[in-house]
Chains A and B, each alone.
Chain A
Amino acid sequence: MSTTTIDLASSTIRQLNQTLHDASAGTFQVLNPKGAHAAAVGIDADITVEIMGSVGYYCAGMHQQGTVRIDGNASAGLAENIMSGRVHLAGSATMSAGATGHGGLVIIEGDAGARCGISMKGVDIVVGGNVGHMSAFMAQAGNLVVLGDAAEDLGDSLYEAKLFVRGSVASLGSDCVVRGSVASLGSDCVEKEMRPEHVATLTELLAAAGMDADPADFTRYGSARKLYNFHIDDIDAEVAAAGADT
């Protein structure tokens, strides 16, 4: 399979993306990204893109097919609205990584910043390090796996996404249930039992991401489902989450 090199020191982002959109196969190596925005967005062919350095906003956004590998860090909105395929970041990402993703796999070897997986709708996100505050906010479907710690308000107003955290959680958001070390859970996010099917999913995701971790060390968090319908008694969602049935 041929490798094509595109140097962003001499090519524009538009030229890069057009080349990637015109391709149907092959490997593309991108040099000198230097934090440029919108690199390798909207890829819809079974190609491999290797970006040699750090990228700016929305790298691999709307990803449909193939693999994007980034040998560096990523700014806001990595793989935003990914539909399928694979995006693999060797470094750390700032806010909103994997936001609104419908499918596919996002692997972040380092840390992810605030609001990782916000409003995710089916994507699987595996983070080797920590995630920032309000990660998985209003997450609807898919899996967020965190090998490190989660900052405040994990899974606030969570729908049916599953959250697996190995370290600690700072706080859970509303409608999200906790165990392990999460700074805090957001409203309606609660700790839930790890049943065999969850262990199987987690084992599969860790293997797919090439992460070495024991599924038995993780805690699962999910929705307390108290915010699905309005109840006047649940107006204080924190109170509702505290008494949630797991």
Chain B
Amino acid sequence: MCGIVGLFLKTEKHRPELGRLTAMMLHEMRERGMDSAGFAVYDQGEPGVDRMTLLAEGFDPDWSATATALSTALDAEVAVRPLEDHAVFEIHGDGRAARQWIIDNAPGVDVLSYGRQIELFKAVGDPDLVASRYDLASRTGTHAIAHTRMATESAVTTNGSHPFVTGADTCLVHNGSLSNHNQLRLQLEREGESFQTENDSEVAAGYLSWRLREGDTIDDALTRALVDLDGFYTFAIGIESGFAVLRDPIACKPAVVAETDHWVAMSSEYRAIAQLPGVEDAELFEPVPATIYSWSLAA
């Protein structure tokens, strides 16, 4: 199983309550995956500030010491907001260099997300507890994607939880199972991707990272994914300006989309959408198999 939700706020109206609405949707998808949960939230960010969400699983790091060392190494201001075993680093400087510094100098720390707008939290356990532990409900912003996991292909761990980062300000959640992920993992490792788990969805994320790194647009990368990924999937992909949805050609895994003047919502099941304000006027449809859908803020 697994449950997916995505919420994209087209207007200012509900942006102060992005987190509350996303938490409400996630709660409805709780029964589809009680193993773990995660969410990525996007706001408009601050000019000149790059962000990373870091995870230190199983130990208690000295985040402020890490931030000080990073600040010295980069000669840039670094602010840190710890939250449970996660921390958001705000870098007034080169975010890519900061990410590489963490990978090289902070053993045991995982970079869950990086970019201008994204923050990403995930953990093992009841999705409602994960949402409250990382205070999803108080979040504001433009869009969010979230996931509840019922593990089938690999172990229940934080790193095996969704969303998976695929690049700057992009991440992926997956409902389904890929059948060629072992072969694809080997190919992607040769292309320079590294993997932390045996998880099939991480391979899909690595695939998109590789394509985006090679210069594909999200649409190009997903079009190619239709050929290269074998198995069942409904994906929601968070991007800087919105989100995209793709289902495999057989479309065994469910998806429903609703759109109003103020928002676009996507979920595995309608009941997650049924809670949203103004849903009675929403235009509802089921995404067609093997077709890329995306919604984004007008440029």
A interface with B by C-beta (< 8 Å) = 34-37, 53-54, 56-57, 73, 75-76, 92, 94-95, 113-114, 133
B254/A56 in contact, CB under 8 A: no
Q: CA of A210 to CA of B284 in the docked complex: distance in angstroms?
A: 24
Do B274 and A34 have beta carbons less than 8 Å apart? Answer: yes
- Which residues of chain A are near B284, meaning CB under 8 Å? 73, 92
Q: Is the CB of A54 within 8 A of B269?
A: no
A91 to chain B, nearest CB (A): 8
Q: Hey, which chain B residues are within 8 Å of A92, CB to CB?
A: 284, 286
A75 touches B270 (CB 8 A): yes
Which residues of chain A are within 8 angstroms of B188 by Cβ–Cβ distance?
Answer: none
B269 near A56: Cβ-Cβ < 8 Å:
yes
- CB atoms of B251 and A35 under 8 A apart: no
CB distance from A59 to the nearest CB of B (A): 11
Contact between A75 and B269, CB atoms less than 8 A apart: yes
Complex CA distance for A56 and B271, rounded to whole angstroms: 7
Q: How far is the CA of A133 from the CA of B274 in the complex (A)?
A: 26
B274 touches A76 (CB 8 A): no
- Across the A-B interface, the 9 shortest Cβ-Cβ residue pairs: A35-B271, A35-B270, A34-B274, A35-B274, A94-B286, A113-B286, A54-B270, A56-B271, A114-B251
**Docked pose: A94 CA to B234 CA in angstroms:** 15
Could you tell me if A114 and B254 are in contact, using CB atoms closer than 8 angstroms?
no
B273 at interface (Cβ–Cβ under 8 A)? yes
Residues of A within 8 A of B256 (CB): 75, 94
B275 at the A/B interface (Cβ < 8 Å)? yes
Q: Count how many chain B residues have C-beta atoms less than 8 Å from C-beta atoms of the other chain.
A: 14
A34 to B273, CA, bound (A): 9
Interface string of B230-267 (1 = CB under 8 A from A): 00000000000000000000010010100000000000
* CB-CB nearest in chain A for B274: A34
Closest chain-B Cβ to A118's Cβ sits at a distance in Å of 12
Residues of A within 8 A of B273 (CB): 35
Q: Which residues of B contact A35 (CB under 8 A)?
A: 28, 269-274
Determine the residue in chain B with the shortest Cβ distance to A76.
B254
A75 and B254 contact, CB distance less than 8 A: yes
B125 at interface, CB cutoff 8 A: no
A111 to chain B, nearest CB (A): 8
A158 to B87, CA, bound (A): 57
Nearest CB on A from B249, distance (A) = 8
Cβ of A65 to closest chain B Cβ, rounded Å: 27
With A94-B256, A113-B286 as contacts: A73 and B270 at CB distance below 8 Å: yes
Let me know if B269 and A95 touch, CB within 8 A: no
How far apart sit A73 and B289, CA to CA, in the bound complex (Å)? Answer: 19
A53–B19 CA distance with the chains assembled, in angstroms: 26
- Bound CA span A35–B28, Å: 10
Question: Can you list 15 residue pairs at the A/B interface with Cβ under 8 Å?
Answer: A35-B28, A35-B270, A35-B273, A35-B274, A37-B271, A53-B274, A54-B274, A57-B269, A73-B284, A75-B256, A94-B256, A94-B286, A95-B254, A113-B286, A133-B289
Bound CA span A133–B291, Å: 14
Bound CA–CA A73/B28 (angstroms): 18
B33–chain A nearest beta-carbon distance, Å:
15
Instruction: Contacts A94-B254, A94-B256, A95-B254 given; indicate if A36 touches B286 (C-beta within 8 A).
Output: no
